[in-house]
């Protein structure tokens, strides 16, 4: 196994000179060297063939003892110095000071086929940023991160990736519901891959400490490596950089809304500077279409990070980033323009995206209203988002049978008995209006269906599906992890043999811990 090692990161950014893992406030440094912990009895659970291929690993490589050792933290790659990054962040709206990679360790950065990748272990032991926690991760949350990040990639949503999922052989103590019932769980390590794991919080920490010099170094580094098209650093390029981050964030958010993904913890330390979905914790997938839904029990009271609020929070987080980099530009206007532009751009892109979900491509002034009515109807009774939009592609624009309209989507209703009276009238009206509108489109039913099926996934990682895989894995059976992994490689395809996963959430999963209720404990 060969690595083409890039040492640019270590050379260009100021490092924390203390070479050990002990917890501390790290000043004037972007990262600290950190050594992964040796584990009791490592064993590989799953490797992503697509990610391995991207990085240039052969199948034999991924099955080797060396691969297992490296990606569980038991061997440091020759010539590398693993490190943990320093960052801060706003958690649930409040500035939380230094956070940092408390349980993530970057092994190294490599170049393959012209692409730059940082290789990171999550759960490989403590670092200077571990604060009061242990630096470890459990199998439960590691399966969720592993499966979901690769599924998001195949859905076409910008995301960090995962290369491998392994057991450490160690036991880790966790209190899943934060109610005093701690128990031992199996320890695990996921290797995560991304061009960079830099977050908004990496910049914020230096602003909070009024350390403009280090922040400038970090921003210049970011420009040089990840936004080279913007050119040499200057006030103008710093503003353009902010524009690029805002655009990438917006793009990611439109995708989240499209597929029904709820991140769950959109703190500023969990927002990537490259607009990648990062840190899969108590995330969830919409089953019933509900703007108010959040899977995160820690956020139940205010539901700050609910589905319908994700775009607002994206903007709120961008405000924090703008404040952080302001000292480099010393003018509010360019930053304010970007933030103002975000709102209009989001509205435009969101409208286009929602139109594409219902197969509308021509311009019509009434489309916004049609979509508003749809979103309202979807929330009248619990209606499965994935089933609804996927089935809607079956609509026939020249059908005269109004009664049959609802049949197309009836599988999506969790309580079909409630679709009567006024609710039924609203749906009938909506479908009739939709049909009239569809007649303005030039595409045939078949062509529209094909296009719609490329934006409306048939298979997503429903919350209960991940939980089933976790329950089996706890018993030592990893077959379902592989089954779901393979299923989710083709989320838009028809997979007749997998029809059982194209179904409403079963009733037992409605209020089950791990399915609809997740905490940050991981
Ligand atoms: P999260 O809510 O997972 O985004 O984590 C917030 C902060 O807590 C980050 O700085 C993490 O590195 C840190 N953190 C979370 N879990 C652990 C853990 N088990 N050990 C050390 N640090 C952790
Ligand atoms: Mg995090």
Span 449-466, average pLDDT = 97
Among 296, 335, 340, 295, which Cα is nearest to 91's?
296
Q: Which atom of ligand 1 is nearest to the CA of 134?
A: 20
Polymer length of the chain? 522
11 is written with which tokens? 């050379």
In degrees rounded to 5, what are phi and psi of residue 469? Answer: -65, -35
CA of 291 to the centre of ligand 2 (A): 24
What's the pLDDT tens digit per position in 343-394? Answer: 999 999 999 999 999 999 999 999 999 999 999 999 999 999 999 999 999 9
| Beta carbons within 8 Å of 341's beta carbon, 6+ residues apart | 243, 246
| Rounded Cα distance, 397 and 418, in Å | 26
Q: Which of 83, 96, 99 to mutate to test the pocket of ligand 1 (most atoms within 8 A of CB)?
A: 99
Residues annotated within the binding site are 100, 102-103, 122, 134-135, 192, 199, 270, 279
- Which pLDDT score is estimated for 207? 98
In angstroms, rounded to a whole number, what is the distance separating the alpha carbons of residues 132 and 168?
21
pLDDT in tens, 194-213: 999 999 999 999 999 999 99
Q: Report the pocket of ligand 1 as residue ranges, CB < 6 Å.
A: 99-103, 129-130, 133-136, 265, 269-270, 279, 281, 520
User: pLDDT, tens digit, for every residue of 28-78?
Assistant: 999 999 999 999 999 999 999 999 999 999 999 999 999 999 999 999 999
Q: How far apart are CA 336 and CA 240, in angstroms?
A: 12
pTM of the shown model: 0.97
Q: What is the mean pLDDT of residues 220-249?
A: 97
Contact call for residues 318 and 246 (beta carbons, < 8 A): yes
**What are the tokens at 197?**
């794991």
Chain centroid to CA 178: 24
Distance CA 272, CA 245 (A): 9
Which residues participate in catalysis according to the annotation? 269
Q: Which of 493, 428, 483 is nearest to 459 (CA)?
A: 493
User: What is the H or E stretch that residue 169 is in?
Assistant: strand 161-174
Q: Is 318 exposed, middle or buried (0-12, 13-18, 19+ CB in 10 A)?
A: buried
Instruction: Check if the beta carbon of residue 90 is closer than 8 Å to that of residue 317.
Output: yes
What is the structure's pLDDT at 7? 67
Please report which confidence band the pLDDT of residue 8 belongs to, taking 50, 70 and 90 as the band edges: low
d(CA 54, CA 113): 8
Question: Is-contact 482 258, C-beta < 8 A?
Answer: no
Residue 362: CB atoms within 10 Å: 12
Q: What is the number of the ligand 1 atom nearest to the C-alpha of 87? A: 10
Ligand 1 centre to CA of 131 (Å) is 9
User: Which of 24, 100, 103 is the pocket-test mutation for ligand 1 (most atoms within 8 Å of CB)?
Assistant: 103
Q: Give the dihedral of Cα atoms 484, 490, 496, 500; nearest 10 deg.
A: 30
Centre of ligand 1 from the C-alpha of residue 102, in Å: 5
Give pLDDT, residue 173: 95
* pLDDT per position as a tens digit, 157-176: 999 999 999 999 999 999 98
Q: Of 410, 403, 509, nearest to 418 (Cα)? A: 410
- How many C-beta atoms lie closer than 10 Å to residue 333's C-beta? 9
């Amino acid at each position: 196994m060969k690595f083409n090692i890039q040492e640019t990161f270590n050379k260009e950014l100021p490092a924390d000179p203390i070479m050990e893992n002990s917890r501390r406030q790290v000043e004037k440094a972007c990262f600290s060297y950190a050594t992964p912990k040796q584990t009791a009895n490592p064993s590989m659970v799953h490797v992503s063939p697509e990610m391995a291929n991207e990085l240039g690993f052969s199948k034999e490589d991924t099955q080797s003892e060396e691969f297992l050792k490296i990606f569980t933290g038991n061997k440091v790659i020759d010539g590398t110095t693993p490190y943990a990054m320093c960052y801060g962040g706003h958690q649930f709206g409040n500035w939380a000071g230094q956070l940092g990679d408390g349980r993530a360790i970057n092994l190294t950065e490599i170049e393959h086929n012209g692409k730059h990748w940082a290789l990171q272990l999550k759960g490989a032991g403590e670092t200077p940023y571990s604060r009061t926690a242990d630096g470890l991760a459990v199998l439960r949350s590691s399966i969720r991160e592993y499966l979901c990040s690769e599924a998001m990639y195949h859905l076409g949503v910008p995301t960090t990736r995962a290369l491998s999922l392994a057991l450490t052989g160690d036991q880790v103590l966790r209190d899943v519901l934060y109610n005093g019932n701690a128990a031992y769980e199996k320890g695990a390590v996921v290797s995560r891959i991304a061009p960079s794991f830099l977050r908004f919080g990496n910049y914020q920490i230096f602003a909070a400490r009024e350390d403009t010099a280090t922040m400038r170094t970090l921003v210049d580094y970011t420009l040089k490596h990840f936004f080279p098209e913007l050119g040499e650093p200057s006030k103008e390029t710093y503003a353009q950089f902010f524009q690029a981050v805002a655009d990438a964030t917006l793009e990611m958010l439109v995708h989240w809304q499209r597929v029904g993904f709820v991140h769950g913890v959109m703190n500023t330390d969990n927002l990537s500077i490259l607009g990648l979905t990062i840190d899969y914790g108590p995330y969830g997938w919409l089953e019933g279409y509900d703007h108010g839904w959040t899977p995160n029990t820690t956020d139940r009271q205010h539901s700050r990070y609910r589905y319908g609020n994700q775009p607002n929070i994206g903007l709120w987080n961008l405000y924090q980033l703008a404040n952080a980099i302001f000292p480099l530009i010393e003018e509010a206007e360019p930053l304010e323009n970007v933030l103002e532009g975000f709102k209009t751009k989001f509205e435009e892109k969101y409208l286009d995206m929602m139109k594409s979900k219902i197969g509308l491509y021509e311009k019509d002034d009434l489309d916004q209203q049609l979509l508003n009515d749809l979103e309202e109807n979807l929330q009248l009774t619990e209606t499965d988002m994935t089933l609804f939009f996927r089935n809607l592609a079956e609509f026939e624009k020249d059908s005269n049978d109004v009664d049959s309209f609802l049949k197309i989507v009836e599988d999506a209703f969790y309580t079909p008995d409630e679709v009567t009276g006024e609710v039924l009238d609203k749906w009938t009206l909506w479908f009739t209006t939709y049909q009239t509108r569809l007649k303005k489109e030039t595409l045939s039913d078949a062509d529209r269906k094909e296009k719609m099926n490329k934006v409306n996934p048939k298979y997503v990682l429903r919350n209960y599906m991940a939980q089933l895989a976790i329950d089996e894995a706890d018993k030592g059976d990893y077959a379902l992890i592989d089954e779901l992994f393979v299923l989710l490689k083709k989320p838009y395809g028809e997979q007749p043999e997998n029809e059982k996963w194209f179904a409403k959430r079963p009733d037992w999963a409605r209020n089950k811990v791990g399915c609809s209720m997740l905490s940050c404990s991981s």
